[in-house]
Structure 1
Amino acid sequence: MRILSGLPLLFLFFYSHLSQAQTSSTRGQLINITNGTFEGLDGEFPNGWILPSGNEGKWEFTGKTGRSISVFGQGNDSSYWRSEQNPFSSNTFYRLRFSVFSDGSGTIIAGSHLANIDLSSSTDWQNKEFIFKTPQKIRNAFLRFGHWQFQGKVQFDDVSLVKVIPVHRHINGLELGKGELIHDGKYTFYSDFTETDGNSSRCLFQHTASFNTDRWVLTDQDQIIYEHSLVNENQIDSVIKLQLQIQDGSKLFVECATDPNFDSTSTVAQTIEDSGEHTLQVPSTLLPDNSIFIRLKTTGDCQITDYQYWATIEDNAIRFVGDTNYVEVIDNSGALEVEFKTIGDLNSGDNNQVAIDITNLIDYSMEVEAVMRIRPIASGGLYSGDVSSQPVTNSRRVLTVGVAETWEILWTDYRLEQAGNYEMEIELIDRFYGESVFFATIPFSMSILYQADYGETVSKDDDIATIWWADATRKISRQQVPPTQKSSLVRLSAAKNEYEPFQIVVRPKHRLSQVTVASSNFLSEQNDLIPADQIEINNIGYLLVRHPSDHTGSRGYWPDPLIPHNLPIELYPGQNYPFWLTFRTLPDLPAGTYRGTIVVSGVLGEDISLSKELAVSPVAISQQISSIKKQAALSGLHKDCIDASGHQSLIVAGEEETVKEQISDVFAEDKIDIKTRKEGSIWQETIEVELKVWDFALSDETHIRSSFGFDPERVKKYHQLKDGSELNQVLEKYYENFANHRISPENPMEISPIVTDFEGNWWLGGEQDSIVKVEGRYSLKVVDSDNSSDMAAISRHNIRISKDKSYELSWHARTERTSQSYQLSILCLDQNNETFQQIDFPFIGNGQWERFWTQIGSFPSETVSIRLAFFPIAPNATEEKTGVAWFDQLSLNLMPTGENLIPDSDFERTVADWNITLDTNPFELTATRYLNELHFNAFQLPLEGMGTQHLTGNQKGIIEGYPVGTEEYNILFSGYLTQLQNYLEEKGWIDKAYVYWFDEPTDQDYQFVKAGMDRIHRFAPKINRFLTEQIEPELIESVEVWCPIVPNFNPALAEERKAKGEQVWWYLRNQPIAPYVGSFIDHNAIDLRMWLWQTWHYKVNGIRIWLSNYWNNEEQSSDSIGQTLPQNPYQDSMSYSSENLPQIGNTRNWGNGDGRLIYPPPMALANYGAGQLSHSLEGPINSIRMELLREGIEDYEYFWLLQDLVKNATDPEKASVREAEAYLIVPDTVLTSLVSYSQNPDSIYAHRSVLAQMILKLTKEDK
């Protein structure tokens, strides 16, 4: 075979009149079906299509383009159109495209019985696409379009079915397709059947089963064979995971082999007869091997909804995420045979090579012109606005191919810069005739992760590594090549009392060890100082995204956690290593332009220990006198730098000159040529940075309110904290971090709440019942309505006992049902008031009142006091989970005196004379710290007796046994709530408090919610009522703070409510997805910053994210067998839910990083691999998303400050004031709607700079 390799490709710009870049619509497509547009004039049916007898449908005169076909449904029937011919071949990949419109509800079907896709209703014409692989055998196949149990009408148009050729990713001889990846010594395959190419994958060897939408459908003797092969990589142990539904009496055999014939060496790993999740090991007798075949074969009906496979491999250094694209051959004369070998990574990295083999099939030589083009496609999506300026790659090769000769044609190093949709075209032209003999297209998308049209190279010497910088509102991929634009200086700007981050990126060309990044002091022209310790330096960590959160995301390594740069690190060639640096400008910092340097240094080669003489911090040599007038000696090393450990560098007196002499030769870069450098040589680069500090300061108070969920219990669990003192110590670090980001956690006083004592009540739980009783006025009714937990009524106070005394316990009980198990328990407490033993008395009730008694000779010796608990359902009951029981005439008599030690043993209490007290001491101490000193501007106020929200039905509020609606409840609730309101008002915290007791109500909840809200307002009208719901007429006058999810925000209704004095916030959770902004790791960096610009634009009063430390779902810890540890958020980026959400396997994906803006410190997970968490008193690790939220909030403060200056201007009609007013409007270059906003942060930085200039101008004029 001969090889033709081209020079680097041309890098052109796209114009609308490119003569060479013909579109596929101008060519004769290889169509597998007849009349996919349903055109024609005469006849009952369009040519090539049939409406089978009994089906309801019509050949329509109108469609998306010309005529169309339609079907009708009554909601309990099915109809479809079908093609006359069988267009399918076996073992072949196809792409089906069509347009669909519907009016009604139900299920739309498209495809065939070989591979079908179900669709929901759409009220406008939508383009759909479905890629699938046909089975090994095909019988009676046809293409069909119709409905199943649809109520209404469905139309179809513009159908095309074409064969496609899958092309997978390649690296160093390895080939991986979509769903495959190698990471940290493990090969993994995930079958996400819900994607466009649901059943197709590189691993699918062959099958005889059908596929429907998101599942394999097998009948008797059907089989599916998967092949997991890795070139030159042995699999040491392997695991299969299946999720399936199987018919009773059927069996699924899971067979394993090292060849596809399943000969005598194959083994049956497991026979499955039950539905659900099944995990099984590949037999060790087959391993190690580089190819494992898995056959799934059934004896009856079975549906497989998830298939996963993972294996440990010998090389744990490989990190490779596979992908698949599909070649669509548009024209093929048959003169040349074309094989696609690779199309590169299709991103902004440097692994972009296209290689095809062409073989001459005719009997004469052919002079061939081979053309490869990449052009953008306008899709109307998130990035469509930038299409006209996108670059186009257009490269040609000319070669002569002799008879039967095979040539490999290479196109190397195409470069893409902007995210969006593209199409690669491969065309082969017979130059003699001037005709195209082969034309193929490959549609693909480049994720925002690989956007690369920004940044500047700042390194002076690129021989060892290229260093470049970028602003903070970017997510830099490991792969993207450095920018071509160069600069000698990093330029930044900030106000006083602001944080200003930026990124320094190191891309080594050789392996580097002991790499450190350090900052000098920064000096202004007036010699004012920003000390080096005001520049925070973090390594940017990368997380593997296995399942994209939505169509904006992509599989691969996304940057997010910011790890403090406390230790030197090792860097490998050909990858980007970004560092996140943040300036902190203090409120009293003099304005001016500050200059200093960032020093990046390391050792060439593997990680080796430096000699003792050179084991000095690389930033500890010479003092900077002026960063403007004088560069420090020895290539920019500075005494006043902060080293990699975060400490000031120190030189022992008298040793400085010696150290200089020892290192100067190593750093004499003028004398060292790269060719002569050896491992162990010290390398270093110095980057000059300029920070312009504007002459105004941001306020300590933040003017956009916030409420971010935060769970202290997760902190306690992950940090392995021993006691409350350690928890308080660590929580202080978390709350300081929130304050530093101008974000208010939902309730920082959660572990120091206001404690209410309803003196006179002796029981916690249960309620008085005046109907069912033994005698007197009341009995105690205890209800257990929760299937998942045990409910009980427990004595409020401890009962002191004597260890040498005996007691008699008696009570009356009645159960709701006959044969209902209930339980009385005695909780034994020690001198530390801790329960150390529980004595249980289980009984079976008969539905009638019964008296029980028992003699207690003595209690365990450690017992100091006891408490009593009544369970209406015994905790160990197996059959019954819920129920009601009544208790009356209770006594615990000290023998022999007979003294009853239980107050109110007959439950005959009244509330008229109860003394309600609030213990506010712990709360006040904590609130003073967080509300007054750290300036949190909102907090959630828990209330007693509001009732609970539950999936099985809402539970009405109860206080001390008295339910909502009773006179006693009103007395207690009003007395308590009035005191609470007065206390908060006295302390000045009433406006920061809000009651948020019900989350995301449905229509059915509105009356329950309204009643609770009105109850609050009746007794405490000054306390704000908060609700995560859009503005609804039924809830008007019952809410002060509305908080809809972003897509449900209605600007007009919001203005109406704000005019009434109410507030309108909005929030993010696992919804919305693109094209809205989102909090996901695999979204554009601009999203959360843009959210604050949208917040200003729409005059929203506050922001909320449901949780910030959702590190673990209890039902999902890891994909490892037997893993019982909590989820490791550094290893698994996905947030999981067990609710009814999109499912992969038995887990449901909420989105990457959903509810997870901060991380536990790495120290807490240092021993995770050994199966345990570690004790840690460190604070949280921030994410890029958390930092960009702060950037957005600071941007908001710019707007607020300028608005405040305009409002307070002495002459509001002055031209400069009117000019400033215009800049308070967010320009269209930044955003025009909630779904139309710039993906380029340059527009934000530009307007931020204008705001700063206007603030300076008005401030100066006002003096």
Structure 2
Amino acid sequence: MKARKSSILAAVLTLVACRATPEQDILNGSFEKGRGGPAGWQLSGDVGAWEEEGRTGSRCISVTGDGTSSNHWKCSSEELQPGAVYRIDFWTKSSPDATGGNVISGSNRCNFDWRHAKEWTHRSIIFKAPVWRGIEPFLRLGQWRTKGKVYFDDIRVRKIYLVHAEFDGIALGEGETIRDDRYEFIAPLNKGLNWARAIDWCTADFNSNRWLFDGDTEVMFRHWVGPRGAGPFRLSNVRVKVTVSHYVAGRCVVEARSDQENWTGLVPPPPPPHQETHGAGQTEVILPRWTRLGEIDGMRSAEFCLPSDFDGSQKMWVRLVGKKKQGEAKSPSFQVHGYRFSANIDDESLNLTGATYAVHRQPEDFEPRAKSTWLGLRLVPVQELPAFIESVGAPSLGGTNAVRVVVINMLNRPLRFTPTVSVDGDSESFPSQWLSPRAHGTAALSYRAPRAGEHWATVTLLDGETSEVLYTGTWDYRVPPLYDSDFGYAITSDVNCDLWWAEAPYKISRRCPTPEKRRPITIAAAKGEYEPFQLVIAPKRDLRGLRVKVSDLRSAVGGRIPANAVEACRVGYVNVTHPTDEIGCAGEWPDPLPPLDKPFDIVAERGVQPLWLTVHVPRDVAAGEYRGTIDLAADDWNASVPFTVRVWDFEIPRENHLRTAFGFSHGNVRRYHNLESDEELRQVLDLYFKNFAEHRISPYNFAPLDPVQIEFPETPDGSVNLDFSRFDEQAEKYFGPDYRFTTHRLPLRGMGGGT
């Protein structure tokens, strides 16, 4: 109980230390106030103006560059607190003739570059203010080496706090993943973030996607992961990789230590000392040692293995320190744009991807006054209810989540509060809760975001007597298409598993919840058409030796679709660690379809297992409804799932009228299947092309091994020899009735490509 109270007190003190300042009038974010210039803002130099063409209202500010200089407007009324996290929203545009350089924003110690926009464009940044080191931090908006004018308007500054994704009590933040028994953290610098759960503190400045080491600066990381209440996992086989992307002078020294006590507060102290008593009553203060792993003294990447005596530690710290080279007068000057930490953990069943959510709190203040009671501190309220969001679950993975709010009653009487949660404006109220005087409690509130896309959620606590708003916390999040769950139909459920189904176009993630809507499996297809669907097994325990058997489908008038016209495959998953675009995300993506030619196991901890069934409707069957069953059997479980195919009274033409061109690399096929000879490659390519034909798709090149041969003999008339013989043989095959490809990219060896 004492440990829990201490953690609550630490969280309260953190909120007090990071008191959030509302959008204050003194910020003058719309630049409407002032005499002779915008109140609260100062121009650093060169050319700038208080303009009369604001996006909203009548005013805005601008800076003008000559292509070689840099200048900015400095906010002199907003103090940045070291260690606090800020969100800044603003609008900007550049003059039509503006070229070169960048728009700059943020602070003088955390800068973010932007490209020029010719129309008013919204920009948003979130950054953690570095620890002070003699340089006063301030907000700024400006330009760097731009030739032309840049405008700014409607700046909004808010303090926020960060909440990390939680999976059954395991917290993982942005950049953290667990795959089987391997934990990894990649600093999310490429996303423009100088904060993460694993980034403990820093004195280094930040620019867009990299840390700037200038003088004796450092960045420190703290690594620990494990379920709430059970203690962290033990770490072993630890590797650290650091990338220096720009180098002028000095050394990037990499050091590590383990099992240090937790730090609370804004600026961590040095590693905690302990005392040893020697003879004659002499006491010596011992500082824990940092173990030097190595250094980087140039523009390169380096990987370091931690010594084996670190194995088994539950917490590890790594720090990057800028130091002078021995005998060199120059101060350290280099930039780090990559940091990776990986370690084995003592759990092989996990497959998790972390995320971090920025919570905006209202009211943004509560005033503490120190006394000597209740957890060592007597908190006297002004008007607000102290509360904070401890967890929001993992909403980026869609489905149902729970927000956990810690509420602290600082009154001398019981308090009744009523919580509500809204997602995208749709609210749900929960039963009122009571808190004893000078006590704290936790409200766990469920919410769901089944659709892919951008969402925002809000938790509100109302006074149970007056309905006055006591607290509001808001966070936004994005559900990638992979975790869309607004589809599918439930079939049946028992103690072993749920069964449900979905149409073919949906990507079904391992975490996809069982739908609430119910509907039997029914698909429709024309004669000659291939029509797939997905049958999903959501196991509640392991299912060993699963076998799948499909029956014949029969109509009421005696028609028959044979069982061999239904192909059953298992949906396989590919672990994507580096998404190629913003629509994607790290995680297990369903993609390959290995055939169900032998029994296989379903492990409950891995999540759902879809089956992909494709019905090829014969061309000679009569129209009507055909019914059959899919029989599932494991070692001690079985189920029979009925399904219906409605056959339309028309036939898909054999000829393809839609032109397609599917990019396809025979070189990748050779490498993926480890093929050694051209003959092996021909056989495998033909299997791919048969599958293409079934789906009425044409590849770019169906004759990669038989191109048109071209020669340029040395003849007086400059003639060219073209040999189509091998290509014509392949064209006759793949343009013929068995494949019916409609397009082909015609490469001419010696003359580049063609169409």
Q: Measure, in 1, the Cα distance between the counterparts of 2:390 and 2:723.
A: 74
- Indicate if the aligned counterparts of 1:33 and 1:160 stay in contact, CA closer than 8 A: no
Instruction: Return the letter of the residue paired with 1:514.
Output: G
**Equivalent residue for 1:110, pick from 95, 105, 127:** 105
**Structure 1 residues 302 and 333, CA gap change in structure 2 (3 angstroms):** closer
User: What stretches of structure 2 of length at least 5 have no aligned partner?
Assistant: 3-19, 227-231, 261-269, 272-286, 324-331, 367-380
Q: Measure, in 1, the Cα distance between the counterparts of 2:140 and 2:180.
A: 45
Match of 2:13 in 1: none
1:739-754 equivalence runs, <5 A: 739-754=693-708
**Equivalent residue for 2:416, pick from 348, 352, 368:** 368
Match of 2:60 in 1: 68
**2:115 is equivalent to residue 81 of structure 1:** no
Match of 1:557 in 2: 588
Tell me by how many angstroms 1:425 deviates: 1.8
Match of 1:177 in 2: 173
**Equivalent residue for 2:432, pick from 382, 395, 398:** 398
Q: Measure, in 2, the Cα distance between the counterparts of 1:41 and 1:923.
A: 76
**Structure 1 residues 288 and 342, CA gap change in structure 2 (3 angstroms):** same
Q: Measure, in 1, the Cα distance between the counterparts of 2:748 and 2:452.
A: 49
**2:550 is equivalent to residue 526 of structure 1:** no
Match of 1:34 in 2: 26
Match of 1:571 in 2: 602
TM-score (norm 2): 0.85
**Equivalent residue for 1:598, pick from 617, 630, 636:** 630
The CA RMSD measured in Å over matched residues stands at 2.5
Tell me by how many angstroms 1:188 deviates: 1.1
SS in 1 for 2:395: coil
**Structure 1 residues 140 and 573, CA gap change in structure 2 (3 angstroms):** same
**Structure 1 residues 569 and 370, CA gap change in structure 2 (3 angstroms):** farther
Cα deviation code 1:102-160 (max 9, x no counterpart): 22233100111221110001122222111111112263111100111112222212212
Q: Measure, in 2, the Cα distance between the counterparts of 1:544 and 1:141.
A: 42
Match of 1:317 in 2: 349
Match of 1:237 in 2: 237
**Equivalent residue for 1:345, pick from 394, 411, 415:** 394
Instruction: Return the letter of the residue paired with 2:440.
Output: T
Cα deviation code 1:1179-1217 (max 9, x no counterpart): xxxxxxxxxxxxxxxxxxxxxxxxxxxxxxxxxxxxxxx
**2:675 is equivalent to residue 717 of structure 1:** no
- Indicate if the aligned counterparts of 1:164 and 1:329 stay in contact, CA closer than 8 A: yes
**Equivalent residue for 1:204, pick from 199, 218, 226:** 199
TM-score (norm 1): 0.51
**Structure 1 residues 738 and 350, CA gap change in structure 2 (3 angstroms):** closer
Q: Measure, in 2, the Cα distance between the counterparts of 1:349 and 1:118.
A: 32
**Equivalent residue for 2:86, pick from 89, 94, 102:** 94
Tell me by how many angstroms 1:415 deviates: 2.6
Q: Measure, in 1, the Cα distance between the counterparts of 2:532 and 2:538.
A: 20
Instruction: Return the letter of the residue paired with 1:394.
Output: E
Instruction: Return the letter of the residue paired with 1:178.
Output: E
Tell me by how many angstroms 1:41 deviates: 5.2
**Structure 1 residues 446 and 29, CA gap change in structure 2 (3 angstroms):** farther
1:583-732 equivalence runs, <5 A: 583-603=615-635, 682-732=636-686
- Indicate if the aligned counterparts of 1:246 and 1:273 stay in contact, CA closer than 8 A: no
Match of 2:481 in 1: 448
**Structure 1 residues 420 and 912, CA gap change in structure 2 (3 angstroms):** closer
Q: Measure, in 2, the Cα distance between the counterparts of 1:407 and 1:347.
A: 26
- Indicate if the aligned counterparts of 1:258 and 1:291 stay in contact, CA closer than 8 A: yes
**Structure 1 residues 245 and 100, CA gap change in structure 2 (3 angstroms):** same
1:567-966 equivalence runs, <5 A: 567-573=598-604, 575-603=607-635, 682-756=636-710, 761=713, 910-912=715-717, 918-932=722-736, 933-943=738-748, 945-946=750-751
Q: Measure, in 1, the Cα distance between the counterparts of 2:686 and 2:154.
A: 62
Q: Measure, in 1, the Cα distance between the counterparts of 2:196 and 2:463.
A: 34
Cα deviation code 1:259-284 (max 9, x no counterpart): 56455442111111110222222222
**Structure 1 residues 507 and 222, CA gap change in structure 2 (3 angstroms):** same
Q: Measure, in 2, the Cα distance between the counterparts of 1:235 and 1:86.
A: 42
SS in 2 for 1:562: coil
Match of 1:355 in 2: 404
Q: Measure, in 2, the Cα distance between the counterparts of 1:45 and 1:410.
A: 49
Q: Measure, in 2, the Cα distance between the counterparts of 1:42 and 1:221.
A: 40
Match of 1:464 in 2: 496
- Indicate if the aligned counterparts of 2:28 and 2:39 stay in contact, CA closer than 8 A: no
Match of 1:541 in 2: 572
- Indicate if the aligned counterparts of 1:376 and 1:420 stay in contact, CA closer than 8 A: no
**Structure 1 residues 190 and 42, CA gap change in structure 2 (3 angstroms):** closer
**Structure 1 residues 62 and 724, CA gap change in structure 2 (3 angstroms):** closer
SS in 1 for 2:703: coil
Q: Measure, in 1, the Cα distance between the counterparts of 2:455 and 2:684.
A: 49
**Structure 1 residues 754 and 399, CA gap change in structure 2 (3 angstroms):** closer
- Indicate if the aligned counterparts of 2:458 and 2:474 stay in contact, CA closer than 8 A: yes
- Indicate if the aligned counterparts of 2:423 and 2:449 stay in contact, CA closer than 8 A: no
**Equivalent residue for 2:43, pick from 44, 47, 51:** 51
- Indicate if the aligned counterparts of 1:710 and 1:746 stay in contact, CA closer than 8 A: yes
Match of 2:129 in 1: 134
Cα deviation code 1:884-915 (max 9, x no counterpart): xxxxxxxxxxxxxxxxxxxxxxxxx643498x
**Structure 1 residues 399 and 66, CA gap change in structure 2 (3 angstroms):** farther
SS in 2 for 1:939: coil
Tell me by how many angstroms 1:76 deviates: 1.9
More strand by percentage: 2
Tell me by how many angstroms 1:535 deviates: 0.9
**Equivalent residue for 2:450, pick from 405, 412, 417:** 417
- Indicate if the aligned counterparts of 2:31 and 2:61 stay in contact, CA closer than 8 A: no
SS in 1 for 2:730: helix
SS in 2 for 1:578: strand
**Structure 1 residues 114 and 913, CA gap change in structure 2 (3 angstroms):** closer
More helix by percentage: 1
- Indicate if the aligned counterparts of 1:348 and 1:417 stay in contact, CA closer than 8 A: no
Cα deviation code 1:689-736 (max 9, x no counterpart): 111111222222211222333332332333233333222222221222
- Indicate if the aligned counterparts of 1:221 and 1:297 stay in contact, CA closer than 8 A: yes
**2:520 is equivalent to residue 478 of structure 1:** no
Cα deviation code 1:932-980 (max 9, x no counterpart): 242112222233553x5xxxxxxxxxxxxxxxxxxxxxxxxxxxxxxxx
Tell me by how many angstroms 1:543 deviates: 2.5
**Equivalent residue for 2:213, pick from 212, 215, 218:** 218
Instruction: Return the letter of the residue paired with 1:425.
Output: T
Instruction: Return the letter of the residue paired with 1:164.
Output: I
SS in 1 for 2:515: coil
- Indicate if the aligned counterparts of 1:592 and 1:692 stay in contact, CA closer than 8 A: yes
Q: Measure, in 1, the Cα distance between the counterparts of 2:181 and 2:159.
A: 36
Cα deviation code 1:206-239 (max 9, x no counterpart): 0001111111111111000011112331111111
**Structure 1 residues 308 and 42, CA gap change in structure 2 (3 angstroms):** closer
Q: Measure, in 2, the Cα distance between the counterparts of 1:268 and 1:360.
A: 47
SS in 2 for 1:247: strand
Q: Measure, in 2, the Cα distance between the counterparts of 1:349 and 1:913.
A: 66
SS in 2 for 1:714: helix
Tell me by how many angstroms 1:252 deviates: 0.6
Q: Measure, in 2, the Cα distance between the counterparts of 1:422 and 1:753.
A: 51
SS in 1 for 2:432: strand
Instruction: Return the letter of the residue paired with 2:509.
Output: S
- Indicate if the aligned counterparts of 1:166 and 1:326 stay in contact, CA closer than 8 A: yes
1:1022-1171 equivalence runs, <5 A: 1026=755
Instruction: Return the letter of the residue paired with 1:142.
Output: F
Percent identity of paired positions between Structure 1 and Structure 2: 29
- Indicate if the aligned counterparts of 2:53 and 2:60 stay in contact, CA closer than 8 A: yes
Tell me by how many angstroms 1:79 deviates: 1.9
**Structure 1 residues 753 and 423, CA gap change in structure 2 (3 angstroms):** closer
Q: Measure, in 1, the Cα distance between the counterparts of 2:198 and 2:180.
A: 21
